[in-house]
């Protein structure tokens, strides 16, 4: 697998690199950020998400706790009622931030939890106990789901579990097994998903709108369109290159030092994130967007706030700027509003200077020009006639270069 830092970055996939990083930083401080990458086959969305596993920082947990109990805030059935002294006696250990995958054919027992058969049939101490599934084991980390649209289509039970897990931050999980008391635990996991909306069964927002809305951000992956980038990607993938790299011990050391650099950045950004808040005027700006464009989803504007702060932190700025907010608009709204509204909003914010945009917003006491049917003339093209791909292109401004 090509290490994260060596993956080619280009206009069409840049946003995913940033979202992945933002989500790791946010997960590290205990606030999940759910990210969905959509795109055609071969755009590398799953490659980027899976490669990020190697740059995850470590976390500290109560020694041996399969639920990843934070020693400072134990939550699992075994440790939640223990005193600080008792936890100290058990000890702590450092593990990599969890990164677990749910396949679209997964079963409820595997995902949530099931009865621990090994313990039940232990001849010395037969005991009915719960074996936590993938989600509780990913607490304080990441869960990755490829082909989320197929999962939503074929597994309504798992979809319901995800709705609970992603419903609040942190979410919660209920594990039920016949013969055992129901266990309810908080889970703080960021869900990363990928799908190809052009393949069966179609875009997630059309299959399970509620689940689609749980994703804070969706980014649509474009294909690389530069010869240089394609040539580099080919080189990384050639047998000769891979064989040569595999033989070099320095390569492994260099990869690890790059990964370590990412981990240090993530920890630094996490500390910054805990100290940064959105200024009031930007919060008002977001609130106005909500009202003006009749957005419906409160999650959308919450994601806009969380995303804007994280974006500014990744840029090593100590202040959140209007551009951090406007950068989030397409990512936060693509799956939540119709193409009409999205294009109108982007044009609305883009067509003026960013500062102008706000002033104009503030200054506009009445909505006269907006209710005027001529208002949107310059952007008016019957959007109902546009297909999905075209809207996405409008949003990403993918301009193919001339070869
Ligand atoms: Zn525990």
CA of 227 to the centre of ligand 1 (A): 51
CA of 251 to the centre of ligand 1 (A): 38
What percent of the chain lies above the pLDDT cut of 90? 56
Asked if residue 99 has pLDDT above 80, the reply is: yes
Comparing 215 with 228, the larger pLDDT belongs to 215
Contacts of 100 (CB under 8 A, 6+ apart): 134, 137, 138, 141, 142, 143, 144
pLDDT at 398: 43
Alpha-carbon distance values, 86 to 81, 94, 239 (Å): 10, 18, 54
Alpha-helix residue ranges (DSSP H) falling in 171-293: 204-207, 209-214, 227-237, 239-247, 249-273, 280-292
Rounded Cα gap, residues 144 and 309, in angstroms: 24
What band does 218 get if pLDDT is binned at 50, 70 and 90? very high
Ligand 1 centroid vs 91 CA: distance in angstroms? Answer: 12
Q: How far is the CA of 202 from the centre of ligand 1 (A)?
A: 39
**Distance (Å, whole) CA 114 – CA 159:** 17
Question: How many A from CA of 176 to the centre of ligand 1?
Answer: 18
CATH H-level superfamily of 9-223? P-loop containing nucleotide triphosphate hydrolases (3.40.50.300)
Distance 97 CA to ligand 1 centre (A): 15
44 Cα to the center of ligand 1, angstroms: 36
End-to-end CA distance of the chain: 30
Indicate if the pLDDT at residue 280 is higher than 70: yes
Q: How far is the CA of 219 from the centre of ligand 1 (A)?
A: 35
Determine the distance separating the centroid of ligand 1 and the alpha carbon of 71, expressed in angstroms: 8
**Chain region(s) in the chain for CATH 3.40.50.300:** 9-223
Instruction: Tell me the CA–centroid distance for residue 65 and ligand 1, in Å.
Output: 5
Q: What percent of the chain has pLDDT over 70?
A: 85
Q: Which residues surround ligand 1, an ion (CB under 5 A)?
A: 65, 67, 69, 76, 79
Cβ-proximal residues to 389 (8 Å cutoff; 6+ apart), any chain: none
Among all chains, which residue has been given the structure tokens 């706030």? Answer: 305
The H or E element spanning position 173 is strand 171-175
Could you tell me the distance, in angstroms and rounded to a whole number, from the CA of residue 101 to the centre of ligand 1?
A: 21
Examine residue 146 and say whether the peptide bond preceding it is cis (omega within 30 degrees of 0).
no
Rounded average pLDDT over 226-233: 79
Half-sphere exposure at residue 110, Cβ-oriented, CA atoms within 13 angstroms: 9
**For 131, left (φ over 0), alpha (ψ -120 to 50), or beta?**
beta
Cα 113 to ligand 1 centroid, rounded to whole Å: 15
Confidence band of 375 (pLDDT split at 50, 70, 90): very low
User: What is the whole-number distance in angstroms between the Cα of residue 74 and the centre of ligand 1?
Assistant: 6
Q: Give residue for tokens 């940064």.
A: 276
> Rounded to the nearest whole angstrom, what is the distance from the C-alpha of residue 162 to the centroid of ligand 1?
22
155 vs 237: which has the higher pLDDT:
155
In 3D space, the residue among 40, 258, 262, 57 whose CA is nearest the CA of residue 142 turns out to be 57
DSSP string, 335-369: TTS-HHHHHHHHHHHHSS-HHHHHHHHHH--S-HH
**Separation of CA 57 and ligand 1 centre (Å):** 20
- Give CA–CA dist 193/146, Å, rounded: 6
Q: Say if residues 68 and 94 touch (Cβ distance below 8 Å).
A: no
pTM of the model: 0.83
Helix (H, G, I), strand (E, B) or coil at 170: coil
Q: List % helix, strand, coil for the chain (3-state, nearest 5).
A: 50, 15, 35
Distance from the CA of 81 to the center of ligand 1, in angstroms?
Answer: 10
Sign of the four-CA dihedral 198, 203, 204, 206: negative
pLDDT digits over 36-79, tens only?
Answer: 999 988 788 999 999 999 999 999 999 999 999 999 999 998 99
- Check whether 367 has a pLDDT greater than 60: no
What integer pLDDT is reported at residue 391 of this predicted model? 52
What's the gap in Å between 62 CA and the centre of ligand 1? Answer: 6
Give per-residue pLDDT as tens, 188-198.
999 999 999 99
Lowest mean pLDDT among 76-85, 122-131, 301-310, 379-388: 379-388
């Amino acid at each position: 697998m090509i290490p994260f830092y060596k993956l080619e970055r280009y206009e069409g996939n840049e946003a995913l690199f940033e979202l992945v990083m933002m989500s790791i930083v946010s997960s590290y401080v205990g606030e999940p950020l759910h990210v969905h990458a959509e795109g055609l086959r071969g755009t590398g969305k799953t490659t980027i998400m899976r490669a990020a596993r190697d740059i995850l920082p470590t976390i500290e947990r109560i020694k041996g706790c399969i639920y990843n109990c934070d020693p400072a805030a134990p939550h699992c059935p075994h440790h939640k009622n223990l005193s600080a002294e008792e936890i100290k006696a058990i000890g702590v250990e450092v593990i990599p931030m969890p990164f677990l995958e749910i396949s679209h054919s997964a079963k409820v027992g595997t995902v949530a939890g099931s009865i621990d058969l090994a313990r039940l049939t232990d001849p010395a101490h037969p005991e009915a106990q719960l074996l936590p599934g993938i989600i509780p084991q990913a607490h304080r980390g990441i869960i990755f789901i490829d082909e989320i649209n197929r999962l939503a289509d074929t597994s309504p039970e798992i979809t319901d579990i995800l709705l609970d897990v992603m419903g609040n931050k942190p979410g919660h999980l209920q594990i039920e097994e016949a013969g055992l008391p129901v266990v309810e635990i908080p889970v703080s996991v960021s869900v990363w998903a990928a799908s190809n909306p052009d393949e069966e069964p179609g875009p997630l927002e059309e299959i399970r709108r509620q689940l689609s809305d749980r994703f804070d951000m969706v980014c649509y992956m474009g294909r690389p369109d530069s010869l240089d980038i394609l040539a580099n990607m080919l080189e990384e993938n050639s047998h000769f290159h891979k064989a040569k790299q595999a033989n070099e011990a320095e390569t492994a050391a260099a990869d690890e030092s790059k990964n370590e650099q990412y981990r240090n950045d993530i920890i630094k950004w996490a500390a910054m994130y805990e100290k940064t808040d959105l200024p009031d005027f930007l919060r008002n700006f977001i609130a106005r967007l909500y009202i003006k464009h009749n957005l419906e989803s409160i999650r959308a504007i919450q994601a806009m706030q969380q995303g804007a702060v994280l974006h500014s932190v990744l840029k090593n700025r100590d202040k959140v700027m209007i551009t951090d907010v406007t950068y989030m608009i397409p990512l936060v709204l693509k799956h939540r509003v119709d193409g009409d509204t999205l294009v109108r909003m982007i044009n609305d914010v883009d067509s003026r200077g960013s500062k102008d945009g706000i002033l104009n917003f503030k200054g506009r006491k009445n909505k006269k020009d907006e209710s005027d049917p001529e208002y949107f003339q310059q952007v008016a093209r019957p959007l109902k006639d546009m297909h999905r791909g075209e809207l996405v292109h409008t949003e990403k401004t993918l301009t193919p270069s001339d070869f």
